[in-house]
Amino acid sequence: MYGVVAMEKQRQVLGEDHPDTLSSMGDLASIYWHLGRLKDAEVLGVVVMEKRKEQLGEDHPDTLSSMGNLAGIYWGLGRLKEAEVLGVAVVEKSKELLGEDHPNTLWSMGNLANTYSDLGRLKDAEVLWVAVMEKRKELLGEDHPDSLAGMGNLANIYREQGRLKDAEMLGVAAMEKRNELLGEDHPDTLLSMGNLASIYRKQGRLKDAEVLELAVMEKRKELLGEDHPDTLLSMGNLAGTYWNQGRLKDAEVLEVAIMKKRKELLGEDHPDTLLSMENLAMTYRDQGRLKDAEVLEVVVMEKRKDLLGEDHPDTLAGGHGEASLLGIN
């Protein structure tokens, strides 16, 4: 892997404490994150943060950046309380040193809001996302991509709170703006369509959700290819809608394809691969194929124990559906 080679070269030539070596370690941690190797990402993330604290001090922007990155890794590992502690520290330091209007401050507030959401603290998450969205509108304008992303994230919070009409209103506004400004084929427009579909699904408007999800899936296949992670995500969302409609055979066909692709492209241990196995197991269970379901469920449980630990939310509880990414914070 190129990232490993680059890091080792810089370590040999420049030493472990050199800023360029630490940057390479941070880059490699990010690669591990995307590969689902969260524990490997954590090891590097901790080293980078501690080294930067020691060399640059706790108030340096690079230190704050590494703290924020480690908070993201903890979030992925389900260690939400540790993610919260770091996230709060980064927000407070960023406000003090950079000001409340700085893009990095708003970025850290959005990340903390996502952690609060996963902790079930939806009101705290809402307060932060409203503040972020309003600031971005004021500083960047209503049509800026970051402002529209903030709208999408707030719509997600409203959806989780059961405020489905408010969620729909924001979701429709974000989708229409992106369609107008970026075009219907832009990744952000397709993201908004998928997010709105998830709101429709929660409202029980399964046919409306299906229409949007089919469009997103077909566009992503055409523009990104069948193997792209976003294409597989949209296939999974459509499978979830089919499952809710009772169209179990249609759901199964998509879920088998997703599972095979993710095993091939990401490996058997990746969180997204395990999620697709879990979804397929639930479909098998509803079809009465209990032995097939059990085989997959045991594999998923054991893999998650090994990779994430016994206390991770994904290890303890399952649910049918794909993770929905509501905007780029």
Widest distance between CA atoms in the chain:
60
How far apart CA 211 and CA 303 sit, in angstroms, is 35
Distance of CA 185 to the CA centre of its chain: 21
Question: Going residue by residue through the chain (329 aa), what tens digit of pLDDT does each one get?
Answer: 555 666 566 665 656 777 888 898 999 999 988 877 888 999 999 999 999 999 999 999 999 999 999 999 998 887 889 999 999 999 999 999 999 999 999 999 999 999 999 898 999 999 999 999 999 999 999 999 999 999 999 999 999 999 999 999 999 999 999 999 999 999 999 999 999 999 999 999 999 999 999 999 999 999 999 998 899 999 999 999 999 999 999 999 999 999 999 999 888 888 889 999 999 999 999 999 999 999 999 999 998 887 767 666 665 555 566 644 433 33
Judging by beta carbons within 10 Å of its beta carbon (0-12, 13-18, 19+), is residue 187 exposed, middle or buried?
A: middle
Closest CA to 90 of 19, 77, 318, 75: 75
Contact 85, 69 (CB under 8 A): no
How far apart CA 177 and CA 193 sit, in angstroms, is 11
Closest CA to 90 of 61, 56, 51: 61
How far apart CA 150 and CA 183 sit, in angstroms, is 19
